[in-house]
Amino acid sequence: MSDNKVALVTGASRGIGAAIAARFAREGWDLTLSSRGRDALEQKASELRELGAGRVEVIPADMTDQDAVATLGTAHAEAFGRCDALVINAGMGQKGPIADLPVRRFDRLYEVNVRAPYVLLQSLLPVLRSTASTAGAAKVIAIASITGVYPEPELSAYGATKAALISLCETFNLEESDGGVSATTIAPGYVDTDMSEWTKDAIPGDQMITVDDVATVAHTVTELSRYAVLPNVVLTRPGANLHRA
């Protein structure tokens, strides 16, 4: 078992996941990085080692492949023997009105944004429990969306999957938090990432929440004791946008 704190971060090669991994790296954490592409992960792993990360493992996984997701959790447990933070960040977005959005796109959103986190929680739960029993606490941090809390036009399918993720983590807390394992969902409005490119003609990137804002919240969650459960954090943009993405 590693003597360092250890995190598994999905969707770690870019955007919010990369920012969270970098924040942990600066604190000397060991890391497992996952996303679909090995080359981008290897490059990111090299960068994180230079930032101060300890051991960094790379495990590519497609979040639509249930077996690959389960294997990711098992491989992390075998590599490190502990998991102080499971960061569920990998996700996908889809825009379209309810009248027109093909159901097959909703199904794919559900696969990536809800089913994969469920499988990963099941796969990692034994090592999360054992880590909490020895280290005091283990945290699950799931990146949701403000659209899972407040509705947004043309984001019904995406928002529905993020609402489901929030509900999943709330129930997880009821079942597991007495043992020191708890989950926090972070529900931001538009974050300045590639996923928000489609709306940057209306909302400039420099007026969006930053990836470092989200990373700061994620890292803060890992500093809470087992007796502090933070179910959901909503990050909004300023002004009249408080209940809008």
Q: What is d(CA 187, CA 141) in angstroms, rounded to the nearest whole number?
A: 11
Sequence-separated (6 or more) residues with CB below 8 Å from residue 56: 25, 30, 31, 32, 33, 45, 48, 49
Q: What is d(CA 45, CA 51) in angstroms, rounded to the nearest whole number?
A: 10
CA-closest candidate to residue 150, choices 237, 62, 21, 66: 237
CB-side neighbour CA atoms (13 Å) of 139:
28
The DSSP bridge pattern shows strands 85-88 and 56-58 to be unpaired
Q: Side by side, which strands form the sheet with 85-88? A: 56-58, 30-34, 6-10, 85-88, 138-143, 181-188, 232-235
CA-closest candidate to residue 145, choices 134, 128, 127, 157: 157
Whether 158 sits among the annotated catalytic residues: the reply is yes
Burial class from Cβ neighbours inside 10 Å (0-12, 13-18, 19+) for residue 50 reads exposed
CA-closest candidate to residue 145, choices 19, 233, 33: 233
Considering 110, 150, 158, 227, which one is annotated as catalytic? 158
DSSP 8-state code for residue 239: G
Q: Which residue has the tokens 């969650």?
A: 221
CA-closest candidate to residue 125, choices 89, 166, 175, 90: 175
- The catalytic residues are 158
